[in-house]
Chain A
Amino acid sequence: MAARTFTINDQLISAREGETILQAAREHGISIPTLCHLDGVSSVGACRLCLVEIEGSRVLRPACVTPVVEEMIVRTDTERLREYRRMIIELLFAERNHVCAVCVANGHCELQDLAIAVGMDHVRFDYAFPRCDVDISHPLFGIDHNRCVLCTRCVRVCDEVEGVHTWDVAGRGADARVITDMRQPWGEARSCTSCGKCVLACPTGAIFRRGATVGEMERDRHKIAYIVAAREQRW
Chain B
Amino acid sequence: MAAPRAQPPVSEQTPHPSGDNRFKLLEATMKKHQYRPDALIEVLHRAQELFGYLSTDLLLYIAHSLHLPPSRVYGVATFYHFFSLAPKGEHSCVVCLGTACYVRGAAAILAAAEQTLGVRAGHTTPDGRLSLETARCLGACGIAPTVVFDGTVTGHQTPEQVQVWLERLREKDL
Contacts and interface: CB of A to CB of B under 8 A. Distances in A.
A181 B70 contact: yes
Contacts of A164: 69
A182 B59 contact: yes
B71 A166 contact: yes
A171 interface: yes
B78 A182 contact: no
Contacts of A179: 71, 74-75
B79 A182 contact: no
B70 A191 contact: yes
Interface in B52-83: 56, 59-60, 69-72, 74-75, 78-79
Contacts of A159: 69
A166 B60 CA distance: 13
A183 B74 contact: yes
Interface in B94-112: none
Interface residues of B, number: 11
A11 B78 CA distance: 47
Contact of B75 (A170, A189, A191): A170
Interface residues of A, number: 17
A167 B69 CA distance: 9
A180 interface: yes
A180 B75 CA distance: 10
Nearest to B85: A183
Nearest to A177: B78
A181 B78 contact: no
A165 B69 contact: yes
A168 B79 CA distance: 11
Contacts of A180: 71
Contacts of B59: 182
A182 B75 contact: no
A169 B79 CA distance: 9
A137 to B, nearest CB: 15
Given A182-B59, A182-B60, A165 B79 contact: no
B74 A181 contact: yes
B131 to A, nearest CB: 19
Interface in A157-178: 159, 164-172
Nearest to A171: B78
Nearest to A180: B71
Contacts of B69: 159, 164-166, 168, 181, 191
Nearest to B57: A182
Contacts of B56: 182
A183 B71 CA distance: 7
Contacts of B70: 181-182, 191
A179 B77 CA distance: 13
Residue in B71, B72, B78 with the greatest tally of chain A CB atoms within 10 Å: B71
List of 10 A-B pairs having minimum Cβ-Cβ separation, nearest first: A168-B71, A165-B69, A168-B75, A170-B78, A181-B70, A182-B70, A171-B78, A182-B74, A168-B72, A170-B75
Interface of A: 159, 164-172, 179-183, 189, 191
Given A170-B74, A172-B78, A181-B69, 8 more contacts: A170-B71, A170-B75, A170-B79, A179-B71, A179-B75, A182-B59, A183-B78, A191-B70
Interface of B: 56, 59-60, 69-72, 74-75, 78-79
29 contacts: A159-B69, A164-B69, A165-B72, A166-B71, A167-B71, A168-B69, A168-B71, A170-B71, A170-B74, A170-B75, A171-B78, A171-B79, A172-B78, A179-B71, A181-B69, A181-B70, A181-B71, A181-B74, A182-B56, A182-B59, A182-B60, A182-B71, A182-B74, A183-B71, A183-B74, A183-B78, A191-B69, A191-B70, A191-B71
